Structure 1
């Protein structure tokens, strides 16, 4: 009997094996093995289609779109709105030639040529400025107005392909969505039509230094909350949730939501997880770099501007001559873990992590901290020192100085080591929560 080879396996098994190829070159090599392997490799090579405003990307997109057999293989479209979304130079000059811009808009508008798409990822640039910003020193890659124009272009293309009878986009991921309310877009008919088809929504937000995160996402949630099955809300680099902008989704119901992922979501009030605890259908919860703020210093003028509530906080000092007041907040992760275990009866998986990856650079070992909405399902559950944080309105480059690996946090006065003080109780509560989740599988 001849030995069994990979080609003798069931087509479904072979397809699964090929899908785990490391990169494009591996897939190209697989194509050379045989006609059967070639068909599997081609299916993987063209499963995702990509465009950005460059001549090469537009040309490749159009070539695939112009080939019906290849266009039918695409299941996911990735649209970058600038030439290089990794460029975070605040002083960059970014001019797209008119011909390239026209070609880009035409390419995006041709989404209907990919009849079987069910997933779309849109990625904007990192740096942003608010509408009407008076900061003349910065030249961001995309103004707030251009970002809205890009969203309108993409959503019109999605609506057109749906009207043409193609498959519906069920999964939408938006990277670097600016925290700018855009009612002229989110209150439009095309926005409601497109959002109404979604089962999954994954948003990673960015903010300029003068604005806050959180409140801008509510208009994205209202049209789809009743049918949404998976939701991710991330900030790219900033703690968010309590202030400057308070996220209050308590008026929104998520009756079918099964998976929820939160990135950099930060707790400063006792009822801030109530909206999560109300989602009784929840089966998986990811808390990625989520924290509790234990000390708070906010400028008095900001307290008034932000309309910040001090409920649940203990006043540490209030001096009329000082520029700020200071408070303490005493919530602990052990209490929140216990609340999640008791309040979410269908929860089967929980992740709580601040992942680190060590790598070598020459003779030195450095640390890279992986983070982002796209890796939400690779999270583990560990007790990390940064789970307790402070807010200090008087320091830069961040008002949210994090603890080091030993739990030490910068603060103008002496501050406890919250990591060490609550390590044992937090670990026990997390272990119990994970045990409860495992018992439901």
Structure 2
């Protein structure tokens, strides 16, 4: 161990950087040199959850002048909070802002307001429960109402703008797809966004067991339409890291149009559950070629065929749609001819600074992200990387591997489904992907996993 301790401090710092929290703690116990260097790494990221252990940890840190200098990132985790366990005061009502806030444990509220005592605080994350409802009429039972989420988010933004220095990193995990509309709340959010270098949005939408209802409800469409102006444009000038994940596929429908947003300093970009259906989406990524060094596409699809009864609400111009025999009379059909090998070659040529690339799939929603559990992206081209969108004959969700048409049965007045062939990744796709990895010098083999903890979860601001 003395040999390890004799290494330059820069190398020892790199060792702590790539070690998990438990290893960092054990390394600190080996000798005085590693104890000194490792202190900052052990106490760098702090979680404040609704548990005595986390309360005690932060209180002890705040009481120690040397430890308080170590904390740069705080995760406020209220994901386990269940309003059903709260008995609201007779003088207040559920949904009232003061009542919603005061219902949280007193120790949590006290420590929340003491975050300003952390002089080196640079990143903040807020984690809600993943289940949400589009309104507070309780027709769908969820642990946390929209009123509760709104109050906590407003309190956080008010706190952040009061700090001596605005944070440079913000992660909102399980952000419900309803934006704040109250003027002062919007002003606080806009001010916080303007100082950010890192923004990670993990967005959740109402689920009630009926995928079609989830998909066709109003909120997802309003949220993604407003996302560029509400969340991205205020941060555009300084932002270096952007992550957008959603538990509902988005891009085509609900429509997300990023063409009006440009990030002159963007270094890393991650999309989860994003749909590509037009070359302008590829062009938007390539427009950041002078700065982009990391790109992650997690469970993203190319939609090679789409059929929908409301083309005016999609990413595509209505004029590109046409009628197609075998589809319902109200549906319109369109196709997209660009393939993944076109994308990979474009990244290879148009992103000269790219050094890290992840293309694959991970079940990020199934993990406890707020506590820093590792999330891994399984690299490679699965058959699901090409898909069709068909809102008439979905399974029931409109995304499927192939298009379905109705056709007449010979000699009968009845009709039956006719399944078109799915689009399977080609050898050309795989070759172009391998060429991209080789060019950037990143090891690659099918089923290799890639650690996405920093990118997707945002356990640290940078």
TM-score range, shorter chain: 0.7 to 0.9
Residue pairs, 1:130-279, within 5 angstroms: 130=134, 132=135, 136-162=138-164, 168-184=166-182, 188-208=186-206, 209=214, 210=217, 211-212=219-220, 214-218=224-228, 219-235=230-246, 237-244=247-254, 246-279=255-288
TM-score (norm 2): 0.74
Q: Deviations over 1:3-56 (max 9, x none)?
A: 9532333334334334444443x4444444333333344333311111123444
Following TM superposition, by how much is the alpha carbon of 1:123 offset from its aligned partner in structure 2, in angstroms? 1.4
How much does 1:266 deviate? 0.4
Matched, 1:287 2:310: no
Q: How does 1:41-80 map to 2 (within 5 A)?
A: 41-80=38-77
C-alpha deviations, 1:292-344, integer Å up to 9, x for none?
1233343x3x5577797445455433666x67555544432222333334444
Q: Cα–Cα, structure 1 residues 185 and 172, in superposed 2: closer, same or farther, change >3 Å?
A: farther
What is the CA distance between 1:170 and its match in structure 2? 1.4
Q: Are the equivalent residues in 2 in contact too, given 1:390–1:400 (CA < 8 A)? A: yes
Distance in 2 (CA, whole Å) between partners of 1:158 and 1:127 is 26
Secondary structure of 1:272's aligned partner? helix
Q: CA deviation at 1:409?
A: 8.6
> How far apart, CA to CA, are the structure 2 residues paired with 1:72 and 1:410?
60
Structure 1 residue 423: Cα displacement = 0.9
TM-score (ref. length: structure 1)? 0.77
Of 397, 402, 417, the residue aligned with 2:422 is: 417
2:116 paired residue among 85, 90, 112: 112
Aligned partner of 1:352 in structure 2 is: 359
| Alpha carbons 2:306, 2:388 under 8 Å: kept | yes
Contact 2:130 2:174 in 1 (8 A): yes
CA distance, structure 2, for counterparts of residue 28 and residue 200 of structure 1: 27
1:262/1:327 Cα in 2 relative to 1: closer, same or farther (>3 Å)?
Answer: same
Q: Closer, same or farther in 2 for the Cα pair 1:254/1:426, shift >3 Å? A: same
CA drift at 1:380: 7.1
Q: In the alignment, which residue of structure 2 is the partner of 1:16?
A: 14
Counterpart CA distance in 2 for 1:391 and 1:269 is 14
Q: What is the CA-CA distance between 1:248 and the residue it aligns to? A: 1.3
Partners of 1:371 and 1:32 lie apart in 2 by 28
Contact 2:244 2:272 in 1 (8 A): yes
Distance 1:152 1:143 in 2: 14
Paired position in structure 1 for 2:126: 122
**Alpha-carbon distance, 1:221 to partner:** 0.6
Match runs of 1:74-89 below 5 Å: 74-83=71-80
CA contact (8 A) 1:53 1:101 kept: yes
CA RMSD of aligned residues (A): 3.7
Q: Of the candidates 427, 432, 439, which is equivalent to residue 430 of structure 2?
A: 427
Q: How many residues of Structure 1 are paired with residues of Structure 2 in the alignment?
A: 402
Distance 1:375 1:426 in 2: 32
Aligned equivalents of 1:204 and 1:249: distance in 2? Answer: 17
Structure 1 counterpart of 2:385: 387
How far did residue 227 of structure 1 move?
1.8
- Larger relative contact order (C-alpha < 8 A, sep ≥ 6)? 2
Distance in 2, matches of 1:291 and 1:400, equals: 10
Alpha carbons 1:259, 1:284 under 8 Å: kept: yes
Write the distance in 2 (CA, Å) between the matches of 1:377 and 1:186: 36
Counterpart check, 1:317 vs 2:325: yes
Cα offset for 1:74? 0.8
Contact 2:321 2:333 in 1 (8 A): no
SS of 1:287 mapped into structure 2: strand
- Counterpart CA distance in 2 for 1:339 and 1:325 is 30
Displacement, 1:348? Answer: 4.3
Q: Using the TM superposition, give the Cα deviation of residue 277 of structure 1 relative to its aligned residue in structure 2, in angstroms.
A: 2.4
1:102 aligned residue (83, 99, 106): 106
Aligned-partner Cα distance in 2 for 1:376–1:262: 18
Residues 337-361 of structure 1 show CA distances to partners (whole Å, capped at 9, x for unaligned) of: 333344445444433222599xxxx
Change (3 A) 1:303 1:50: same
The whole-number CA distance in structure 2 between the counterparts of 1:96 and 1:61 is 27
